[in-house]
Amino acid sequence: MKILLVSANTAETPYPVYPLGMGIVADALERAGHEVAQFDFLQSGRSFEKLSQALAAQSPALVGISIRNIDNVNLLNEQHYIDQVRQIVKTVRAAVKAPVVLGGAGFSIMPEAILDAVDADHGIVGEAEASVVAFAASIERGERPARCIRADGLVDQAGIGSARYDADIMKFYLQHGSMAGVQSKRGCVHRCVYCTYPLLEGRVVRPRPVKDVADDIERLASEHQAGYVFFTDSIFNDDGGHYLDLLREMKRRKLTVPWTCFIKPGNIMPEHVLLMKETGLKAVEIGSDAASDTALKGMGKDFLFKDIVATNDVFVSNGVATANFFMFGGPGETKESVLEGIRNIVALQKTVSFMFMGVRILPGTPLEKIAINEGVIRQGQELLSSTYYISPAFDRAWLEQALTEGFKDHRCCFFPADKFESATKFLHQMGYAGSLWQLLSPERMRTRTYGKQ
Ligand code: B12
């Protein structure tokens, strides 16, 4: 059967991101014998006309739309992406009779609301390697599957797909500052109150076979000339240490393509950093998330601010660039903890810090319950239009003022977090890859940590 997959994501902040989920779905469907074409709406220049042309050229019997982002989770500069998906669905309907199925991380967070908002026929919640194949078979048999499909369970670790990286789409992303995405595991065991990762990926860590992951990296380097890899795992340094097995395999194969990842503060030893560096690590994004012990506790974190300091130090002292990301205004946050957090961040050595104000409330998270209990939202309130939690201990204006004042004289502290990105858009268009925050602190970067593709 002919299937057209469309990546609807057009977000360019902090940089355009290769549509990895669509690539994995494409691979699963092709292996099942379907003829699959991939269309990237950002690469097309957000052109509905080009989409209509692709539909006319392929005449698909099924159209799948990948929805990665609902919004940009930035209260101070809100961007919403679902209206654009509705336009994409409308364009598909005008061109072909094929049923439209939705999927993707953004979709899976609030499937029913998005199905209604964009008027699609079906949606598949969660990881789709197996479920999309069963769904396509059912469409091919002329059946009418359920509107919203939830897989019975998670795919096993060997079943986590490798993406069919499309050469033209990859070229576009590499030329526009993206890194090539590779996923090495799924699952999150932590209980951060605001986070959807356990809902999307399950609560048990499922590492992919290290051979498969290393093969992906080799393929990206040799076939796509990828000069920088991003491990898209929600946390790279899992507590079980599976990431060390992958690093050993990369070392055995002498893989040294520059790479970066998300790190959770807490369990990193100098020997781990050295192994990471030997395999190409250049920079890490530390998921610090809150800046005082009070705020960390309120966010459900199992580490303290001293662990953030130690993790930052172990990378920096070994020549790896770091960025830290913080949210202010979460549950339990007080005026005192905000001011303490600002002092803590300013004192954090040799790093770049990005600050967000307010915490996006997403369905199914503990934060949704907290917000209902505190009267911030109503039971059953729709959350598609972005809704943020700000601690009742202060008002929004006070928090914005405190953060603006607190960080205004600090070159490496960015509030709002996207302040830095307008400056880097130009560099991304020139083909410089990744989160260019490393450029900010050249004296901290003895090694070159970014590269023109
Ligand atoms: C890694 C990551 C990043 C990295 C990406 C690096 C890179 N080079 O790829 C960085 C740090 C850059 C980033 C940035 C942002 N991110 Co982010 N990111 C993630 C994360 C952790 C993993 C995404 C990923 O690649 N997963 C691996 C792929 C394979 O999985 P997948 O896409 O979900 O695909 C599977 C299924 O969804 C499904 N599927 C996918 N497509 C389709 C299509 C069809 C038809 C079907 C049936 C199924 C299907 O099948 C796939 C295989 O099983 C997710 C959270 C998560 N755990 O998913 C957030 C997440 C996607 N990000 C999110 C957001 C908001 C952002 C930002 C807007 C934040 C910001 N303000 O900067 C930006 C946007 C960037 C951009 N240009 O789009 C949100 C989106 C939800 C929302 N609120 O809108 C998520 C879900 C996190 C969250 N808050 O809950 N992100």
Q: At what angle do helices 210-224 and 167-175 cross, to 10 degrees?
A: 80
Q: Within 13 Å and on the Cβ side, how many CA atoms surround 296?
A: 20
Q: What angle do the packed helices 48-58 and 82-95 form, to 10 degrees?
A: 40
> Which of 7, 65, 66 has most ligand 1 atoms within 8 Å of its beta carbon, as the pocket-test mutant?
66
Joined together, the tokens standing for residue 13 give 């902040």
In this structure, are residues 90 and 120 in contact, taking their beta carbons and an 8 Å threshold?
no
With a 6 A CB cut-off, is 386 part of the ligand 1 pocket? no
Atom 57 (ligand 1) nearest CA: 197
The tens-digit pLDDT sequence of the chain (453 residues) is 999 999 999 999 888 999 999 999 999 999 999 999 999 999 999 999 999 999 999 999 999 999 999 999 999 999 999 999 999 999 999 999 999 999 999 999 999 999 999 999 999 999 999 999 999 999 999 999 999 999 888 999 999 989 999 999 999 999 888 899 999 999 999 999 999 999 999 999 999 999 999 999 999 999 999 999 999 999 999 999 999 999 999 999 999 999 999 999 998 999 999 999 999 999 999 999 999 999 999 999 999 999 999 999 999 999 999 999 999 999 999 999 999 999 999 999 889 999 999 999 999 999 999 999 999 999 999 999 989 999 999 999 999 999 999 999 998 898 988 877 765 665 666 566 666 666 665 344 433 333 333
Whole-number Å distance between alpha carbons of 41 and 431: 19
DSSP string, 332-367: T--HHHHHHHHHHHHHS-S-EEEEEESEE--TTSHH
Q: Whose CA is nearest to atom 79 of ligand 1?
A: 69
Report the residue among 69, 79, 190, 453 best suited for mutation to probe ligand 1: largest number of ligand atoms under 8 A from its CB.
Answer: 69
Compute how many other C-beta atoms are within 10 angstroms of the C-beta atom of residue 346: 15
**Element holding 132 (H helix, E strand):** helix 131-140
In whole angstroms, give the CA distance from residue 328 to residue 295. Answer: 8
Mutation probe of ligand 1 site: the residue of 166, 232, 235 with most atoms within 8 A of C-beta = 232
Cα separation, 404 vs 338, in Å, equals: 12
Nearest CA to 100 out of 91, 109, 89, 111 is that of 89
| Protein residue whose Cα sits closest to atom 70 of ligand 1 | 72
pLDDT given at position 451: 38
Residue 176: the pLDDT is: 87
> So what's the pLDDT on residue 429?
60
The per-residue pLDDT for 199 is: 95
Q: List the residue whose alpha carbon is closest to atom 55 of ligand 1.
A: 197
Q: Which atom of ligand 1 is nearest to the CA of 234?
A: 21
pTM: 0.95
State residue 151's pLDDT score.
83
Q: Ligand 1 within 6 A of 181 CB?
A: yes
Which pLDDT value is given to residue 447? 37
Q: Which two tokens stand for residue 385?
A: 């239009």
Tell me how many degrees the CA angle 215-177-434 measures, rounded to the nearest 5. 70
Q: What is the pLDDT of residue 453?
A: 32
Cα 234 to averaged position of ligand 1 atoms, centre (Å): 10
68 C-alpha to ligand 1 centroid (Å)? 5
- Give all domains of the chain, ordered by start, each with its CATH number: 2-157 (3.40.50.2300), 177-444 (3.80.30.20)
- Helix, coil or strand: residue 221: helix
| Beta-bridge mates of residue 389 | 359
CA distance 227 to 85: 31
Q: How far is the CA of 69 from the centre of ligand 1 (A)?
A: 7
Measuring CA to CA, how many Å separate 122 from each of 101, 107, 125, 145, 213? 5, 11, 10, 8, 31
